[in-house]
Structure 1
Amino acid sequence: MHLRSRLSISHIYNLNLTYFKRTFHTSFCGLKGLDILFFGSDEFSRECFRSVDDLAASSSSVVHKLEVVTRPPKRNGRDRSTSSQTVEVPLAPFARERNRTVHFVETKQDFENIQTLSYDLLVVVSYGKLIPAQLITRTKYGGINLHPSLLPRHSGAAPLQAAILDNDEFSGVTIQTLHPTQFDRGSILMQSLPVRLSLDETSKSLGQRLSKVGADMLREFLKTLSEYIDKHPNDEGPEIVIDSFKTNSEEIRLLPRTWTKKIDSRARHINWATDSASTIERKWRAFGLPLWTEIRYFDRHNQTAHLSRRAILEDITIVDNMGSIPSLEVGSIPNLPGQYLRLGPGKQFFAQTVVRTCDGKLLLVQMKQEKVRGKSLVDSDIFDLSSHK
């Protein structure tokens, strides 16, 4: 299952290409340092912000001023009612703990409000919204974005999940300029060396590893930019950012462009007619649990067959050795994709269940008990899990 049809390192870089670094001066000839507005939201951006904030604390000649823009708190729960609790994105409380000003920006008016402020550079990491062109052009050196993939591969909203779903062998981090009208269409300035994915890599573990790579890259980027500005005091405009990394960007061999979509509930759906065991396992590692599927059942009251209800998969294990499941009898093993056998005392629907995948493998899944028209599915005549939607 772990044999990968994967992206080879030879497709990514010439073997003589190394991580781009320079030797930095300990001082920048009296340079004031950059006034930075940092856009972010999640744990990945929090780690990158930490790096910039540490740099600001240790070297005011590189970062003179640092403020944060993030998404406003959202109400938790399905109903989103006024009585439900609001939850902040991870970056907001962390930035406040470090005594940084936090701006909550979501709407067009919010963006217009922060355009009255003056900054040298916009730094965007996992913010989730397109930065308006007017804000970019009003900023002295424009803006940059740190993206957790080797662009242009996995451009878009979910690069971490895409790397796992596509069974990539390597990923990495890219720093690019901000494009005024599109995501991930800027000039590529820096890329990390390829980062190898482990066989059991999850989007969470990959994000944690790439956030550290990105944090180091961002720190080196700001040092390099500050050094270049110090050496070219009469140059102005966003071109400075591109010019300061021109030599490096010319050495980067770009991968073919691919696009990732924003994750919605359909991405977590298991279709037993088309999803192999390895595909299901990658969905689990990419999106986490729970995943979901459909249950077909027979309504004995209305004598209606093959109605469908959603069932939640709360745990998934590929069965490599049927002997490891004592209660699994050979004659009762499911044969067709989506057919299943419930295990355990009383064969409760929420107990462990063995399901056949379309490539002939068996999965051991844990399903959450659902309700159908006010009664539990365990009281219904269940057919199978086959879904041909």
Structure 2
Amino acid sequence: MLLSVLKVVPKQGATLIPRLMSTKTSSIEQPLRIAYFGSDRFSLLSLGKLLDYQKLNPNRILSIDVITRSKKKSGRKLKNLTDVPIGHYAEDHSMVIHRADTASDILGLSESQQYDLAIAVSYGILIPAKFLKSLRYGGLNVHPSLLPKYSGSSPIQYALMNDDLFSGVTVQTLHPTKFDRGDIVSQSDEIPISNDDNYTSMEEKLGNIGADLLVKTIENELFLPPIDSPRNNYPHSLASKMSSSSSEINWSLTTSRQIKRLLDALGSVHTYVSKYSKSGSFEESLKVILYDIEEVSSCNDLSMKLPGDSEVVDGKLFIKTIDGYISTPKLKLQYCNEESIPEFIPRIPKRLRSTEKNLKFHAFETI
């Protein structure tokens, strides 16, 4: 059972469930048949807690079917099939799985299956209005932000990139035509974001709290109308989908702290160095990926003056920012494997045809 490996810290603020077995008399006539839409680790945490609750309360939940994306071909010559985390979990627990990649696929389920409630967590596809209308109780969503702040697909990333002091989780109804515009059913307290938090730790932290909120919502039947939405003063903002350019460092505008938080949010950041032709003219920009960064406020041994300038000290690469420095012990140059700085530096003349002792990092350039 997944419950045994989930760590929930009460002081983080959410109202937790002290026990999973229900003693409350239900106003629902029959146990719920749930269609659970999910994909990633965040959605898996809610599914695990919901499955534990069902096992102890079969009078509340009759069945949970998992609806997720199709397996994708991967690897050399696309010979392997890769599944999403929730697909692996559902198979390991012998759950009923349906694969749905489009709205049409979802509508097809309503023709062959009967459900009372839909729960969508990090699914990425808008559940069609026609499907929601086929359900006795509509749908619910677990969203990792304090809505209406950070509606959209990337709330955890935006909270980290903006260096927010706290985040939270919201359980809302599923709107028939728009993402994150449903009625707020339940909301956690403000959950502190620590200096050491990154996407992985926040996903786990908020995922556990969201799972408890979801069970609380089912336990107390908070999804039944009329819904008494809690009031808050959070302004509406959009956390739109991350693009490939989101991780690029703008050295002339970005502080050391902002670069570190960008890394925390996305797992890696990138910049560019120039490669030259044999005649010494600019040939192309090569991407450089950084995975491990530390903020350095000051260092007497460094003489860099302009953002993007770099020096090597004690096996680490130091790069100037607009307010200080960052350092990294390794990097990955385009077309090359990840390397430590002592491995990378001697290979610069051959790879970049550069005679400069220290690299200059910059935004993307073309001829």
Q: TM-score range by the shorter chain?
A: 0.7 to 0.9
Give the aligned partner of residue 384 of structure 1.
360
Change (3 A) 1:202 1:20: closer
SS in 2 for 1:322: coil
Give the aligned partner of residue 11 of structure 1.
none
- Identity, in percent, stands at 29
Give the aligned partner of residue 92 of structure 1.
87
Equivalences for residues 198-209 of structure 1 within 5 A: 198-209=194-205
For 1:30 and 1:188, the matched residues in 2 are separated by 21
1:107 and 2:105 aligned: no
Deviation of 1:297 (Å): 3.7
For 2:291 and 2:119, the matched residues in 1 are separated by 38
Question: What letter corresponds to residue 326 of structure 2 in structure 1?
Answer: L
SS in 1 for 2:49: helix
Give the aligned partner of residue 338 of structure 1.
308
Question: What letter corresponds to residue 71 of structure 1 in structure 2?
Answer: R
* Cα RMSD, aligned residues only: 2.7
1:59 and 2:57 aligned: yes
Question: What letter corresponds to residue 136 of structure 1 in structure 2?
Answer: L
For 1:192 and 1:371, the matched residues in 2 are separated by 45
Change (3 A) 1:321 1:337: closer
2:247 paired residue among 241, 246, 268:
268
SS in 1 for 2:245: helix
Give deviations 1:89-123, integer Å, cap 9, x for gaps.
11112112222101111024422321111110001
Equivalences for residues 148-187 of structure 1 within 5 A: 148-187=144-183
Give deviations 1:306-336, integer Å, cap 9, x for gaps.
742211213212224536xxxxx45xx2111
Give deviations 1:266-292, integer Å, cap 9, x for gaps.
111111111111110100111113x21
For 2:139 and 2:125, the matched residues in 1 are separated by 14
Give the aligned partner of residue 137 of structure 1.
133
Give deviations 1:18-63, integer Å, cap 9, x for gaps.
9599996444389431111111111111110011111111111211
- Structure 2 gap segments, 5+ residues each: 1-12, 337-346
Give deviations 1:58-98, integer Å, cap 9, x for gaps.
11121111111011112335x8x433x22111111211222
Whether the aligned pair in 1 keeps the contact of 2:107 and 2:128 (CA below 8 Å) is: no
Deviation of 1:194 (Å): 1.1
SS in 1 for 2:37: strand
Give the aligned partner of residue 47 of structure 1.
45
For 1:22 and 1:190, the matched residues in 2 are separated by 17
For 1:44 and 1:102, the matched residues in 2 are separated by 18
- Structure 1 gap segments, 5+ residues each: 1-16, 229-239, 324-328, 345-350
For 1:30 and 1:46, the matched residues in 2 are separated by 26
Deviation of 1:126 (Å): 0.8
Change (3 A) 1:18 1:45: closer
1:288 and 2:267 aligned: yes
Question: What letter corresponds to residue 163 of structure 1 in structure 2?
Answer: A
Give the aligned partner of residue 321 of structure 2.
357
Give deviations 1:338-389, integer Å, cap 9, x for gaps.
1112356xxxxxx632110122x111122224459xxx64422155113387
Whether the aligned pair in 2 keeps the contact of 1:148 and 1:210 (CA below 8 Å) is: yes
For 2:105 and 2:261, the matched residues in 1 are separated by 39
Whether the aligned pair in 1 keeps the contact of 2:170 and 2:187 (CA below 8 Å) is: yes
- Normalised by the length of structure 1, the TM-score is 0.79
SS in 2 for 1:66: strand
Runs of 4+ more than 3 Å apart: 17-31, 369-372
For 1:172 and 1:183, the matched residues in 2 are separated by 18
Change (3 A) 1:75 1:28: same
Whether the aligned pair in 2 keeps the contact of 1:51 and 1:215 (CA below 8 Å) is: yes
Deviation of 1:221 (Å): 0.6
Whether the aligned pair in 2 keeps the contact of 1:20 and 1:190 (CA below 8 Å) is: no
Deviation of 1:168 (Å): 1.2
Question: What letter corresponds to residue 122 of structure 1 in structure 2?
Answer: A
Whether the aligned pair in 1 keeps the contact of 2:107 and 2:130 (CA below 8 Å) is: no
Whether the aligned pair in 1 keeps the contact of 2:15 and 2:213 (CA below 8 Å) is: no
